[in-house]
């Protein structure tokens, strides 16, 4: 039935019309795992029996009833789905509760059957966690990374295993794999999705859940199902004027778009990425939007230093709490170099240092808000400063955590755009509108003012209609179909 050619909405329609059963779709998804996962290393902890039991018990009457689905192996705690969370220290973790985000995803009727790979602690723009026995590779070019930290999700969707997958984004971890794998990824406004019951927020509010999809409409429908605060949430996003799904039914008003074809600091980016930005700017102009060259005047270097401190402390915290539960000290092989480096880095920070970092993040958010207050509705840039990196370039075995993130040639040089909007809390999306001559995807990054999710996704839908991308397929997918 060629599941890999359809998005999740279309597959659910097949099920609703009786033209396919959830069991048949699951069979095809598992067959795709068997065909391509050996090459990609994207899908782990498969729970086929749990998925079959859910089908037999009767699936919820949601918008994705019967559609096969995968959870990121980081967060999305669920009793039926053990997790490694990218780490040997957390191998085969079992949960006594279901997270609210998991319950909301399940209520859509998806058939969840496993998890996708993630780097240890969700840190890094690549997915090369040793607990999975090797790196996760890109279906467009297996010598390159699928991105991180939702790298397994990106590879699984791009390769046609599932039409959409759960991810999360604390510094670009949905948008980086979307750019690397030729998919659509959307980071909502801060606190749009729940974090309960185990947490109030992640990484001082910078982290959120999200989804990797082949179509804008799939992302919109799943975000609608997950949006809204849960019991005891410390704060909530501003109400949306319309739902994500309603927003994409009509084009947005004509918008004033700021275009940045350098980094936000003015440094040059890869010529292919720059060309992608310039071509997209022309496309927006042809659609009637007002396009101007501009970049935000904000302290991005201070923001990235603060981001690094917060995430370093967050890594040290989860390792400490895990060891406390296990009743032992850290042992060789428990964590990889990046986590060891983060622990050492955090040990050199004080409580006031951490709070100063949170203050810096909040100050940066004020700076970015002032940029949009100048009359800009959207900020267009590349998602990454380069096409997808080679596997091994950002290995998790490095222990120089600060240099890894913000040193010369580090993560911030490669991904200078995404984390800004985790820090500011503003909505942002990556769209697959460009491919290099070598056939590598290049994502285009669109960001909007705090709370303006509906207008941003409406623009994404307009761009999707103007330059469709859903039917593009990577070489790994084509080989599997041969």
pTM exceeds 0.85 for this model: yes
The domain of 61 spans 3-481
Q: Do 452 and 428 form a contact (C-beta atoms < 8 A)?
A: no
- The answer, yes or no, to whether residue 193 has pLDDT greater than 90, is yes
What's the number of domains the chain is made of?
1
Give the chain's mean pLDDT: 97
Q: What percent of the chain has pLDDT over 70?
A: 98
CATH code (residue 314): 3.90.1300.10
Count Cβ atoms below 10 Å from residue 24 Cβ, excluding itself. Answer: 15
Structure tokens at 103: 């319950």
From start to end of 88-199, where are the E strands?
A: 111-116, 137-138, 141-145, 164-169, 184-187
- Main-chain dihedrals φ then ψ at residue 93, nearest 5 degrees: -65, 135
C-alpha span between 464 and 178 (Å, rounded): 14
Q: Name residue 260's beta-bridge partners.
A: none
Q: Do 304 and 424 form a contact (C-beta atoms < 8 A)?
A: no
Task: Provide the pLDDT confidence category of residue 2 given band limits of 50, 70 and 90.
Answer: low
pLDDT of residue 478: 55
- The answer, yes or no, to whether residue 397 has pLDDT greater than 90, is yes
| Choice among 65, 72, 180, 243 that is catalytic | 72
173 is catalytic: yes
pLDDT of residue 296: 97
390 is catalytic: no
C-alpha span between 285 and 466 (Å, rounded): 12
Structure tokens at 33: 């795992």
pLDDT of residue 482: 52
- The answer, yes or no, to whether residue 474 has pLDDT greater than 60, is yes
- The answer, yes or no, to whether residue 274 has pLDDT greater than 60, is yes
Tens-place pLDDT, residues 294-329: 999 999 999 999 999 999 999 999 999 999 999 999
C-alpha span between 66 and 16 (Å, rounded): 9
72 is catalytic: yes
| Choice among 150, 168, 173, 180 that is catalytic | 173
pLDDT of residue 329: 97
Tell me the torsion sign for CA atoms 158, 160, 163, 166.
negative
| Choice among 99, 146, 149, 150 that is catalytic | 149
Count Cβ atoms below 10 Å from residue 199 Cβ, excluding itself. Answer: 14
- Range 189-208 average pLDDT: 96
Nearest to 331 by CA among 148, 89, 139: 89
C-alpha span between 454 and 48 (Å, rounded): 36
């Amino acid at each position: 039935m060629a599941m890999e050619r359809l998005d999740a909405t279309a597959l659910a329609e097949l099920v609703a019309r009786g033209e396919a059963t959830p069991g048949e779709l699951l069979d095809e998804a598992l067959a795709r795992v068997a065909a391509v996962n050996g090459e990609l290393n994207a899908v782990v902890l498969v729970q086929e029996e749990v998925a079959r039991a859910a089908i037999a018990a009767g699936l919820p009457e949601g918008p994705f009833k019967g559609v096969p689905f995968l959870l990121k192996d980081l967060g999305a705690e669920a009793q039926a789905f053990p997790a490694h969370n990218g780490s040997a220290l957390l191998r085969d973790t079992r949960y006594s509760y279901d997270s609210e985000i998991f319950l909301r995803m399940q209520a859509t009727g998806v058939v969840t059957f496993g998890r996708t790979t993630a780097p240890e602690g969700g840190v890094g723009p690549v997915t090369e966690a040793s607990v999975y026995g090797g790196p996760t590779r890109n279906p467009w070019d297996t010598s390159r990374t699928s991105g991180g930290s939702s790298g397994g999700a990106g590879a699984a969707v791009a390769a046609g295993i599932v039409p959409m997958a759960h991810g999360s984004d604390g510094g670009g971890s949905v948008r980086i794999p979307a750019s690397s794998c030729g998919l659509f990824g959307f980071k909502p406004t801060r606190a749009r999705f729940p974090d309960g019951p185990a947490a109030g927020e992640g990484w001082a509010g910078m982290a959120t859940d999200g989804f990797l999809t082949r179509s804008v409409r799939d992302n919109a429908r799943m975000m609608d199902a997950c949006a809204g605060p849960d019991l005891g949430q410390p704060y909530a996003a501003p109400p949306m004027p319309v739902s994500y799904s309603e927003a994409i039914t009509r084009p947005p008003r004509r918008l004033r778009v700021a275009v940045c074809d350098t980094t936000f600091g003015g440094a040059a980016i890869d010529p292919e990425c720059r060309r992608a930005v310039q071509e997209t700017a022309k496309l927006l102009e042809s659609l009637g939007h007002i396009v101007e060259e501009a970049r935000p005047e904000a302290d991005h270097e201070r923001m990235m230093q603060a981001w690094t401190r917060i995430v370093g402390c967050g890594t040290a915290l989860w390792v400490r709490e895990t060891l406390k539960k296990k009743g032992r000290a850290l042992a060789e092989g428990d964590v990889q170099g990046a986590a060891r480096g983060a622990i050492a880095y955090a040990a050199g920070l004080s409580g006031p240092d951490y709070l100063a970092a949170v203050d810096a993040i909040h100050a940066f958010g004020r700076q970015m808000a002032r940029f949009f207050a100048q009359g800009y509705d959207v900020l267009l840039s590349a998602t990454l400063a380069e096409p997808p990196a080679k596997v091994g370039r950002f290995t998790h075995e490095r222990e120089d955590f600060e240099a890894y993130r913000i040193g010369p040639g580090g993560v911030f040089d490669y991904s200078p755009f995404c984390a800004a909007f985790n820090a500011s809390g503003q909505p942002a999306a990556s769209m697959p509108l460009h491919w290099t001559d070598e056939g590598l995807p290049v994502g285009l990054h669109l960001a909007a003012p705090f709370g303006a999710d509906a207008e941003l996704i409406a623009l994404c839908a307009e761009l999707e209609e103007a330059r469709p991308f859903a039917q593009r397929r990577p070489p790994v997918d084509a080989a599997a179909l041969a």
